[in-house]
């Protein structure tokens, strides 16, 4: 049993990366073609973050807060409403921030470059994109004109479009911004949306630069 636990702890970042990759690749078609509710994907995403905290031996405070917030989200969906609420968005933001904190600590403590630590860096990068997606979702809930979508003839606000953008659409927009692709099918309209989008783009570029520098430094010490 101890050997299995040790093996899981050693490769937990790889398992976490596979979980994220599965969600990003499968969640869209599963919801679009099979009409599977989005909340099931959110349960899976939050569960893998919770298990990641356990395997990383996170502080008891992190595990308690993550567990309580996850339980609160489940109760909200089961007994109150499945519609997105400020509590759910705030809870998910806190859970993601705690997961990012634990991954950064793992990256800082490492002395060697291996597949596990590279997976931790990729997981941290993905979580940054998801964190901003939740921020954009809250902003859209507060201001329906914060973002514009590319309609057939002109850009229009999301509130005037028959198909309101879901959480997956904001995840798409967030990663397009994080990687500085900028397709232009979704545009920030309000000042806050513009500044947050610019901030995310800068964070994405700086994170990659810092991680490359960190990796090269560790490889140099190894030699």
* Edge-to-edge order in the sheet of strand 155-157: 155-157, 147-150, 186-188
Q: Is the confidence at residue 172, as pLDDT, over 50?
A: yes
Q: Tell me the whole-structure pTM to 2 decimals.
A: 0.85
In the three-class reduction of DSSP (H, G, I as helix; E, B as strand; rest coil), residue 179 is classed as: coil
What domains are defined for the chain? 2-222 (1.10.287.70)
Q: How confident is the model at residue 200 (pLDDT cuts 50, 70, 90)?
A: very high
Residue 5: what pLDDT? 44
Q: State the Cα torsion 206-211-213-214 to the nearest 10°.
A: 140
Distance (Å, rounded) from C-alpha 221 to C-alpha 25?
Answer: 37
In this structure, are residues 95 and 69 in contact, taking their beta carbons and an 8 Å threshold?
A: yes
- Per-residue pLDDT reduced to its tens digit, 117-148: 788 888 899 999 999 999 998 898 888 888 88
Q: Is the confidence at residue 156, as pLDDT, over 70?
A: no
Distance (Å, rounded) from C-alpha 103 to C-alpha 123?
Answer: 8
- Per-residue pLDDT reduced to its tens digit, 44-94: 888 888 777 776 666 677 888 888 888 888 888 888 776 667 888 898 899
């Amino acid at each position: 049993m101890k050997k299995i636990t040790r093996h899981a702890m050693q490769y937990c970042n790889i398992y976490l990366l596979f979980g994220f990759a599965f969600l990003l690749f499968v969640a869209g078609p599963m919801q679009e073609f099979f009409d599977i509710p989005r909340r099931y994907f959110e349960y899976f995403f939050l569960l893998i973050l919770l298990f990641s905290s356990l395997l990383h031996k996170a502080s008891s405070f992190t595990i308690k807060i993550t567990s309580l917030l996850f339980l609160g989200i489940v109760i909200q969906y089961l007994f109150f409403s499945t519609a997105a609420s400020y509590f759910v968005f705030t809870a998910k933001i806190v859970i993601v921030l705690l997961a990012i904190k634990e991954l950064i600590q793992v990256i800082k403590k490492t002395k060697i470059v291996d597949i596990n630590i590279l997976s931790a860096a990729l997981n941290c990068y993905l979580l940054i994109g998801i964190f901003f997606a939740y921020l954009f979702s809250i902003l859209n809930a507060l201001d329906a004109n914060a973002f514009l979508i590319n309609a057939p003839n002109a850009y229009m606000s999301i509130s005037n479009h028959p198909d309101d953008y879901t959480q997956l659409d904001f995840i798409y927009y967030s990663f397009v911004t994080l990687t500085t692709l900028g397709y232009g099918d979704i545009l920030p309209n309000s000042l806050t949306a513009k500044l947050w989008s610019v901030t995310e783009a800068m964070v994405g570029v700086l994170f990659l630069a810092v991680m490359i520098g960190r990796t090269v430094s560790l490889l140099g010490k190894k030699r």
